[in-house]
């Protein structure tokens, strides 16, 4: 049985034994691992997302939110492979996606996790970074408000404004 999209211990042991018995040169062994990841694992991930089912063939649990669309639709496009010849392995990871929360970039893995497991994030205005206004002058309306607030006159009545000169 495959749990979480990974090989179980028995399958991993069989795979390592098969690779060791092939007696391939290191470069060819690394290339074989890369091809297995590219055309085996990633292709299976795409198929599972398309069918919305686990590698065992069971259907996925629905979204935790009210949204109706398929989950993780764009995730397989973001899967990349990194070769790690020093430990004779490859790493499959998510990269890119361009997901954003306002101005803040959001990693693809976070989006996938939230779609499958649901997330509650409380966001307040105070938690958002402020934008620096250095070098920008105030607008006319902002200037009038500053003058009105600084003089304490309610409604900016004529005669009390420092700009009127009276």
Residue 166 lies in a domain: no
Do 85 and 99 form a contact (C-beta atoms < 8 A)? no
When pLDDT is averaged across residues 125-154 and rounded to a whole number, the result is 76
Q: How many domains does the chain have?
A: 1
- Mean pLDDT in the chain? 77
Q: How far apart, in Å, are the Cα atoms of 4 and each of 7, 82, 143?
A: 9, 20, 59
Residues spanned by the domain of 62: 9-117
CA nearest neighbour of 109 among 124, 99, 123, 101: 99
Q: Residues 77-110: pLDDT tens digits?
A: 888 888 888 888 888 888 877 888 877 888 888 8
pLDDT in tens, 12-39: 778 778 877 878 888 888 888 888 888 8
Q: Mean per-residue pLDDT for 32-53? A: 84
Q: Is residue 139 part of a domain?
A: no
């Amino acid at each position: 049985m495959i749990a979480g999209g990974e090989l179980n211990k028995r399958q991993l042991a069989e795979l390592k034994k098969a690779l060791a018995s092939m007696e391939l040169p290191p470069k060819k062994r690394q290339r074989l691992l890369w091809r297995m990841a590219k055309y085996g694992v990633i292709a299976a991930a795409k198929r599972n997302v398309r069918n919305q089912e686990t590698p065992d063939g069971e259907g996925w649990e629905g979204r935790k939110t009210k949204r109706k669309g398929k989950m993780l639709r764009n995730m397989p496009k973001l899967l990349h492979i990194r070769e790690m010849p020093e430990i004779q392995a490859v790493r499959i990871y998510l990269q890119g996606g361009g997901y954003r929360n306002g101005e803040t970039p959001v990693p693809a893995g976070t989006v996938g996790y939230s779609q499958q497991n649901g997330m509650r994030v409380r966001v307040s205005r105070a938690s958002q970074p402020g934008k620096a206004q250095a070098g920008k002058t105030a607008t006319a309306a902002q200037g009038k408000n500053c003058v009105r607030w600084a003089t304490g006159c309610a409604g900016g009545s004529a005669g009390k404004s420092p700009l009127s000169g009276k």
